Structure 1
Amino acid sequence: MNCTNCGAPLPPQTNRCSFCHTLNDVDLRAIPRGPDGGVEPSQRSCPRCDEALEIVPLNIADGFGIDRCRKCQGIFFDPGELESILDESVSKVYEVDYPRLAKLVEEEGIKEFREISYIKCPDCRQVMNRKAYGARSGVIVDQCRDHGVWLDGRELHVLLHWVKAGGQIHQKDREAREAIEEEQRRAKLAGPIDDRPIFTGSHRYERMIDASDLFRAVRSITDILF
Structure 2
Amino acid sequence: METGQLSAHAAECEEHAEDARSGALRCPGCGDRLELWALCPSLAADAGIGYRGIIDPRIQGCRCCGGSWVDQATFDALIAEASSRAPSDSPRRVPQRPMAMDVEVVYRRCPCCTQLMNRRNFAWISGIILDQCPSCGTFFDAGELEGVIQFVRAGGMAVAQAKHRGHRSHPSPLAAILDEPRQLAVGRGAPELMLLVGFLRWIVERLRERDSGSTAR
Pairwise TM-score range, normalised by the shorter structure: 0.5 to 0.7
Matches for 1:79-94 after TM superposition, within 5 Å: 79-89=72-82, 91-94=85-88
Residues 146-186 of structure 1 show CA distances to partners (whole Å, capped at 9, x for unaligned) of: 21111111011111121122111123324433248xxxxxx
Name which of 8, 31, 37 aligns with 1:50: 31
- Amino acid in the other structure paired with 2:143: R
Match of 2:65 in 1: 72
Letter of the structure 1 residue corresponding to residue 58 of structure 2: G
Letter in 1 for 2:103: R
Match of 2:97 among 105, 120, 128: 105
Separation (CA, whole Å) in 1 of partners of 2:148 and 2:68: 13
Report the alpha carbon displacement of residue 130 of structure 1 after superposing the two structures with TM.
Answer: 1.0
CA RMSD in angstroms comes to 2.4
AA at the equivalent of 1:178: H
Flag structure 1 segments of 5+ consecutive residues without an equivalent: 1-40, 181-226
Structure 1 pair 112–151 and aligned structure 2 pair: CA distance change class (3 A): farther
Amino acid at match of 1:164: R
Which structure has more relative contact order (CA 8 Å, sep 6+)? It is 2
Query: Paired residue for 1:164?
Result: 153
The question of whether the paired residues in 1 share the 8 Å contact of 2:124 and 2:160 is answered with yes
The structure where helix makes up a greater share of residues is 2
Residue 98 of structure 1 aligns to a residue whose secondary structure is: coil
Task: Report the TM-score when normalising by structure 2.
Answer: 0.55
Q: By how many angstroms is 1:89 displaced?
A: 4.6
* Partner SS for 1:177: helix
Over the matched positions of the two proteins, sequence identity in percent amounts to 27
Match of 2:115 in 1: 126
> Counterparts of 2:143 and 2:123 in 1: how far apart (Å)?
16
Moved runs in structure 1, 4+ residues, more than 4 A? none
Unmatched runs of 5 consecutive residues or more in structure 2: 1-21, 45-50, 170-217
Deviation track 1:84-129 (CA, whole Å, cap 9, x = no partner) reads 113325634212333334xx233xx2x4432221111101112111
Q: 1:45 to 1:149 in 2, by over 3 A?
A: same
TM-score with structure 1 setting the length: 0.53
Q: How far apart in 2 are the matches of 1:161 and 1:96?
A: 15
Residue type of the alignment partner of 1:43: A
Number of aligned residue pairs: give it: 135
Tell me which residue corresponds to 1:145: 134
Match in the other structure for 1:205: none
Q: Could you say if the C-alpha distance between residues 165 and 149 of structure 1 is closer, same or farther in structure 2, counting changes exceeding 3 Å? A: same
